[in-house]
Structure 1
Amino acid sequence: MNKRMKLGSIAVALPLLIIGFKTETMKVLLSGNIESLQNLSHGSLWLLLFFTLLLMTIQNLFTIIPLILLISINVSLFGFTGGYIWSWLISIAGATVSFLITRYWFQDFFAKYVNSQWESKIEENGFGVVFIGRVMPFMPTSVVNIAAAISSIRFMKFFYATVLGNMIYFFILSSISLGILSIPWENSLYVVSAAFALLVIMVIRKRRKKAGRTPMTPPE
């Protein structure tokens, strides 16, 4: 997409986005009130699914909504298993939207503000950095998405790291939101998650090195 088309699409999308955030519907959604959300959907399951998908996408784009709040809403609405799985799926969708928008529309803009060391780490070990960013979210979700998008990481590596990392981390947050796990356990679980993340990365690196050392069979 050329620069003129990018500027044109941004000029159209930005005012619509500003207007959308000022509507009463969006204010109700961003409030995180479950009863208000149910009233807004008029008991429609499809509207509830759409609203929670919209909120998760916003969270991945701007990180203005606490992730634990969104997961708590989903668990309250759909139960532990349904809430966990739905939160996981829409987080993947939201991260994908954020990644693609940044890479194809705002890559040049965000490249000025993302730390070059963070970007180079992603380029060196894209899967591992994104995976740890998901499991140990020291940085907001949107920052991980943006930093990955402006780097040279391939989309599928970003996608797989997000799928696996969010699957682990969202299970922890879902358990905490439902009271299955207490808050004092949270830090311990972070450590366990980080250890698991490092183990996965070590296994992947070992397999890559082994594959690189495998001699090629000469043609007959």
Structure 2
Amino acid sequence: MEDWLDVNKIDELAAHYKALGPFFGLLPPFIEAFLPFLPLVVFVVANSVAYGLWYGFILSWLGTVAGSYVVFLIIRKYGRNRFLRFLTKNKRVKQLIGWVERNGFGPLFIMICFPFTPSALVNLVAGLSNMKKKNYLIILMAGKLVMIFTMSFIGYDLKALLTQPIRTGIVVGIIVLLWLVGKWFEKRIDKRVEEESSTFYQGEDEK
């Protein structure tokens, strides 16, 4: 285990990773959009360590934006197909679709910015909503820009994280803070979705 925490070992692994070429840096973040259980943060940190902060960030950002947008387009085209109709029957998904359609750009952008937001759910809801394709691409690019750069900036100097306890503590604190704020925002959105949905359906019943 100590060998894997050795800074020279990290340099060696980063060199091997970089030697695989930029396509390999793009591919894992792209695939993660289809398989959200994969650890996106690991791919982003690996890219930033191997390729440097800026180049690694660009590779990760392009990969995850492309993957998420392809998922969005697939859901947009086939999401209401009878074989995938079960997606729209989920109560929470229904409420989120209506909420996104009523509130649009701002809240969706903030959701995408946070690293711990379930991106698969965001792509699903956006794909099933009536949001324009161009608008979602803009939101996706902007939100992922913030999220991926945050991950890249935190993880690019992995050697320092292993050798400087104070820096490590600060990074851990930032990650915990992002997680807490993300969870708070997610709960707040869920609450507002419930309230707006109740008001909307009451209005429909009164008509």
Q: TM-score, normalised by structure 2?
A: 0.64
In structure 2, what is the equivalent of residue 62 of structure 1?
Answer: 35
Provide the identity percentage: 28
**Which residue type is aligned with residue 120 of structure 2?**
S
State the Cα deviation string for residues 2-61 of structure 1 (Å, max 9, x = none).
xxxxxxxxxxxxxxxxxxxxxxxxxxxxxxxx949947x9x342xxx3233332222112
Question: Is 1:83–2:59 an aligned residue pair?
Answer: no
Q: Secondary structure at the match of 1:111?
A: helix
Which of structure 1's runs of 4+ aligned residues deviate more than 3 A?
A: 34-39, 187-192
In the alignment, which of 111, 132, 141 is matched to residue 163 of structure 1? 141
In the alignment, which of 104, 107, 111 is matched to residue 88 of structure 2? 111
By how many angstroms is 1:78 displaced?
A: 0.6
Which fold has the larger relative contact order, with Cα–Cα distance below 8 Å and residues 6 or more apart in sequence? 2
By how many angstroms is 1:187 displaced?
A: 4.2
Alignment: residue pair count: 156
1:28-177 → structure 2 map (5 Å cutoff): 35=13, 38=16, 43-45=19-21, 49-108=22-81, 109=84, 110-113=87-90, 115-177=93-155
By how many angstroms is 1:173 displaced?
A: 0.9
In structure 2, what is the equivalent of residue 182 of structure 1?
Answer: 171
* Aligned CA distance change for structure 1 residues 99 and 125 (closer, same or farther; 3 Å): same
> Is the Cα–Cα contact under 8 Å of residues 126 and 158 in structure 1 kept in the other structure?
no
Provide structure 1 residue ranges, at least 5 long, that are not aligned to the other structure: 1-33, 196-220
By how many angstroms is 1:75 displaced?
A: 0.7
Aligned-partner Cα distance in 2 for 1:74–1:107: 36
1:12-27 → structure 2 map (5 Å cutoff): none
By how many angstroms is 1:138 displaced?
A: 4.9
State the Cα deviation string for residues 93-123 of structure 1 (Å, max 9, x = none).
1111111111112344122346211111111
> Is the Cα–Cα contact under 8 Å of residues 130 and 158 in structure 1 kept in the other structure?
no
Aligned-partner Cα distance in 2 for 1:37–1:65: 23
Provide structure 2 residue ranges, at least 5 long, that are not aligned to the other structure: 1-11, 162-166, 186-207
Q: TM-score, normalised by structure 1?
A: 0.61
> Is the Cα–Cα contact under 8 Å of residues 109 and 139 in structure 2 kept in the other structure?
yes
> Is the Cα–Cα contact under 8 Å of residues 57 and 98 in structure 1 kept in the other structure?
no
Aligned-partner Cα distance in 2 for 1:88–1:170: 6
In structure 1, what is the equivalent of residue 9 of structure 2?
Answer: none
